[in-house]
């Protein structure tokens, strides 16, 4: 099934490389950040996307990632200056609510749990921090997880439960959950041959996709205790197994992967300047041996490395990407 990407609009404004784009939960706003130490908020006016606000002065170094809370009222930003800022837009304007300190060096990523009560950050200091959001909008460190042996690149929460995934320069993905009193690492997913840059869950959260510097994607399936396949689950904890590896489409590291909850499509962004979209195909045993086909290979999507790609959570087929070339692009998948 061949599809294509139609470039809807190119958004210019950042004065340095753009590292991350993130859609608000309602899909109406897009936040971006990058080397120019600013966060830009984009919204639609009429038929076009325009820059609604520029958030400055919160960070002294690159802003690596931005993430919206599930309610859409808060935005968190992770920076190389070792801090994470949290912004509120309850008053109508974005105001910096808190600056989370604790990491020893560059914070690489930040993410909100589905409940909105927890925040996770990760850094080059090899740790993942879990923060509790209190009723009076304060943030308290609930746990410091130091299971990765290298730089932690990315964190992503499960879509419906308080399960966290992280991935690292140590080539692994780890999963964490709260056990009785403290957080613990409950799974290590090993398979990539180099840095894992990004992960994402599917709609239900029983599958995870990971992507990395080895230019490949891996799909991991959860096997819960008592699964019919007979996969053993020691300690009564789910086991995650790689059920599919996709390679040969990107020529350089894959920096970002996004799994669309609406369509089930997977989008990837790479250092080879291209975007790819994968579509799941009917398979005899879709759980244990799923099949994915490449639906779009958009070469030269940007003129330099593409750092991030993200599906709009509401409008099916709408995609945002950003690049070292300083631009952001909005795309629409078209069936042919």
Partner 1 sequence: MLFVIYSKKDLIRVINDPEHPLTLEELNVVVESNIKVDDDKNNVYVEFVPTIPHCSMATLIGLSIRVKLLRSLPPRFKVDVKIAPGTHESELAVNKQLADKERVAAALENFHLLELVNQCLSKRATG
- Judged by phi (left if over 0) then psi (alpha if -120 to 50, else beta), residue 323 lies in beta
Give the binding range for partner 1 (CB under 8 A) out of 23-31, 60-68, 87-95, 184-192: 60-68
- The C-alpha atoms of residue 231 and residue 138 are separated, in whole angstroms, by 42
Exposed / middle / buried, residue 312 (Cβ in 10 Å: 0-12, 13-18, 19+) = buried
Selected binder of partner 1 within 207, 265, 325, 333 (CB under 8 A): 325
Output the CA torsion sign for 313, 318, 319, 325.
negative
Assess 252 for contact with partner 1 (CB under 8 A): yes
Q: How far is the CB of 303 from partner 1 (least distance, A)?
A: 7
* Footprint (CB under 8 A) of partner 1, residues 110-129: 124
Nearest distance from residue 190's CB to partner 1, in Å?
A: 17
Residue 197: other Cβ atoms inside 10 A? 26
Among the listed ranges 138-146, 184-192, 215-223, 300-308, the one in contact with partner 1 (CB under 8 A) is 300-308
CB of residue 198 to partner 1, shortest distance in Å: 12
Which residue in the set 161, 245, 303, 334 belongs to the binding site for partner 1 (CB under 8 A)? Answer: 303
Closest CA to 31 of 70, 95, 71, 75: 75
Cross-strand pairs, 11 = 328
Stretch 198-217 residues interacting with partner 1 (CB under 8 A): 213
Stretch that binds partner 1, among 84-92, 185-193, 200-208, 303-311 (CB under 8 A): 303-311
Q: Which residues pair with 256 in a beta bridge?
A: 269
Residue 180 CA to residue 186 CA, distance in Å, equals 13
Interacting residues with partner 1 (CB under 8 A): 17, 35, 61-62, 64, 80, 106, 108, 124, 151, 153, 169, 194-195, 213, 252-253, 271-272, 303-305, 324-325
């Amino acid at each position: 099934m061949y599809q294509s990407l139609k470039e809807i609009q190119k958004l210019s404004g950042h004065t340095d490389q753009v590292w991350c784009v993130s859609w608000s939960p309602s899909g109406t706003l897009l936040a971006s950040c990058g080397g120019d130490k600013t966060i830009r908020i984009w919204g639609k006016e009429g038929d076009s996307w325009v820059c609604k606000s520029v958030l400055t002065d919160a960070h002294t170094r690159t802003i690596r990632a931005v993430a919206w809370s599930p309610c859409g009222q808060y935005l968190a930003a992770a920076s190389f200056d070792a801090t994470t800022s949290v912004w509120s837009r309850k008053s109508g304007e974005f105001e910096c609510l808190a600056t989370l300190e604790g990491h020893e060096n560059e914070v690489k990523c930040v993410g909100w749990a589905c409940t909105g009560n927890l925040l996770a950050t990760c850094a080059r200091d090899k740790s993942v921090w879990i923060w509790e959001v209190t009723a009076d909008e304060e943030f308290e460190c609930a746990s410091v997880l130091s299971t990765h042996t290298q730089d932690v690149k990315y964190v992503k929460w499960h879509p419906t439960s308080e399960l966290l995934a992280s991935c690292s320069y140590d080539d692994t993905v780890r999963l964490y959950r709260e056990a009785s009193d403290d957080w613990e690492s409950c799974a290590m997913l090993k398979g990539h041959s180099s840095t894992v840059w990004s992960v994402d869950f599917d709609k239900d959260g029983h599958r995870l996709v990971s992507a990395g510097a080895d230019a490949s994607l891996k799909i991991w399936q959860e096997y819960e205790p008592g699964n019919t396949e007979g996969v053993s689950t020691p300690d009564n904890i789910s086991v995650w197994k790689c059920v599919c590896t996709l390679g040969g489409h990107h020529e350089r590291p894959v920096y970002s992967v996004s799994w669309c909850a609406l369509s089930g499509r997977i989008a990837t962004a790479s250092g080879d300047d291209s975007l790819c979209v994968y579509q799941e195909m009917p398979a005899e045993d879709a759980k244990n041996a799923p099949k994915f086909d490449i639906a779009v290979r958009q070469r030269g999507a940007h003129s330099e490395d593409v750092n991030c790609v993200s599906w709009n959570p509401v409008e099916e087929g709408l995609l945002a990407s950003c690049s070292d070339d300083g631009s952001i692009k909005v795309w629409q998948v078209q069936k042919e």
